[in-house]
């Protein structure tokens, strides 16, 4: 075991199989696909999302998108700088054989990890996005919001150790780094009132990631995503924010934005193309995501 581990991976190996499978589901709450889908939905519906309503508007949803990008870029930068390995067996999903056919492949994808391990990207992202959401949501009591966000972030971090893809030190560092980043982004953006500044911060962190992690597909893709989002928000924010949110147009936005731009973003991560292609692909994906409400208004008016 690496010297920065504290032995929890071995200690948790005796957990019953159903508990491990449950934590594989929990870990999805900190996965990039979950953030893309969840934050896109908040952004597309604005203050007309069922059961959420005026608790969050499109401006603050854009801020959460910027937080997610910044957390991903920060993780890539630090992993490249430290280059610490994951626990042995992190690339193997022993329980995948319990699931039939394609489900076994999906489980294996969710329950394994590759690349460097320090700090945990899931823990970093959970601290930034979930606690960040608690700072900008206008529903419920503040203490209750932070308690829920902290619990989710803690469970996501714990799940990474339970399923054996991180050491305890990886997730503790991820939570600490994420909270520090959130404090900086929160103050810089006026608690989400100026999303453009959060996009700028994510872009700067992504640039630092190139220096630390090298000109590889992932850090280049994250720079493209952050820069594309920053340019799109700077150019389109007044028009996007002037579009009245509605549930009908929110559905149209989802139908357009997730398959097209979410598919493009996912394809870049799945295929790991050459860095220039990754840069352009994610720039278009995130810029297009922020542009989608304008397309939704155009299509919605003609339905």
Q: Give, in degrees to the nearest 5, the angle at Cα 183 between 262 and 209.
A: 55
Q: Which two tokens stand for residue 234?
A: 């700077």
* Position 27 in a domain: yes
- With beta carbons less than 8 A apart as the criterion, state whether 198 and 185 touch: yes
How far apart are the C-alpha atoms of 277 and 260, rounded to whole Å? Answer: 17
- With beta carbons less than 8 A apart as the criterion, state whether 129 and 68 touch: yes
Q: What is the pLDDT of residue 98?
A: 74
Q: What is the pLDDT of residue 62?
A: 95
How far apart are the C-alpha atoms of 191 and 25, rounded to whole Å? Answer: 30
Per-residue pLDDT tens digits of the chain, which is 303 residues long: 333 444 455 555 667 778 888 888 999 999 988 999 999 999 998 888 777 767 788 999 999 999 999 999 999 999 988 988 888 888 877 877 777 778 788 877 877 888 888 999 999 999 999 999 999 987 668 888 999 999 999 999 999 998 888 899 999 999 999 999 999 999 999 999 999 999 999 999 999 988 887 788 889 999 999 999 999 999 999 999 888 877 888 888 888 889 999 999 999 988 889 999 999 999 999 999 999 998 766 665 555
- With beta carbons less than 8 A apart as the criterion, state whether 86 and 138 touch: no
- Could you list the residue range(s) of the whole structural domain that residue 224 is in? 8-301
* Position 1 in a domain: no
Within 13 Å and on the Cβ side, how many CA atoms surround 222? 29
Q: What is the pLDDT of residue 301?
A: 56
- With beta carbons less than 8 A apart as the criterion, state whether 188 and 201 touch: yes
Total domains in the chain come to: 1
* Position 54 in a domain: yes
Strand residues in 2-117 grouped as ranges (E):
none
* Position 3 in a domain: no
* Position 290 in a domain: yes
* Position 158 in a domain: yes
Q: What is the pLDDT of residue 3?
A: 38
* Position 49 in a domain: yes
3-state percent helix, strand, coil for the chain, nearest multiple of 5: 80, 0, 20
How far apart are the C-alpha atoms of 13 and 162, rounded to whole Å? Answer: 8
* Position 2 in a domain: no
How far apart are the C-alpha atoms of 202 and 278, rounded to whole Å? Answer: 17
Q: What is the pLDDT of residue 26?
A: 93
Task: Report which secondary-structure segment, H or E, holds 76.
Answer: helix 58-82
Give the residue from 37, 29, 266, 201 showing the smallest Cα distance to 131: 29
The model carries a pTM of: 0.90
Q: What is the pLDDT of residue 2?
A: 38
């Amino acid at each position: 075991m690496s010297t920065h581990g504290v032995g929890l991976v071995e200690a948790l190996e005796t957990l019953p199989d159903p508990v491990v499978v449950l934590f594989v589901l929990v870990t999805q709450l900190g996965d990039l696909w979950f953030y893309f889908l969840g934050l896109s939905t908040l952004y597309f519906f604005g203050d007309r999302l069922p059961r959420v309503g005026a608790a969050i508007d499109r401006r603050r949803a854009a801020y959460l998108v910027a937080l997610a990008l910044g957390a991903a870029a920060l993780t890539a930068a630090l992993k490249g700088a430290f280059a610490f390995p994951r626990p042995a067996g992190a690339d193997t999903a022993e329980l995948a054989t319990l699931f039939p056919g394609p489900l076994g492949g999906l489980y294996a994808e969710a329950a394994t990890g590759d690349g460097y391990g320090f700090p945990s990207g899931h823990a970093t992202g959970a601290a930034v996005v979930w606690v960040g959401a608690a700072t900008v949501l206008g529903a419920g009591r503040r203490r209750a919001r932070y308690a829920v966000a902290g619990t989710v972030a803690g469970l996501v971090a714990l799940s990474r150790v339970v399923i054996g893809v991180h050491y305890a030190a990886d997730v503790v560092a991820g939570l600490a780094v994420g909270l520090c980043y959130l404090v900086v982004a929160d103050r810089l953006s006026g608690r989400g009132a100026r999303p453009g500044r959060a996009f700028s911060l994510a872009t700067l962190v992504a640039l630092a990631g190139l220096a630390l992690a090298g000109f590889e597909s992932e850090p280049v893709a994250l720079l493209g995503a952050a820069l594309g989002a920053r340019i799109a928000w700077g150019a389109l924010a007044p028009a996007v924010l002037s579009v009245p949110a509605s549930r009908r147009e929110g559905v149209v936005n989802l139908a357009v934005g997730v398959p097209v731009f979410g598919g493009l973003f996912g394809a870049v991560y799945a295929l790991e193309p050459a860095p220039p292609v990754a840069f352009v692909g994610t720039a278009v994906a995130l810029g297009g995501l922020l542009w989608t409400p304008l397309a939704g208004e155009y299509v919605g008016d003609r339905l």
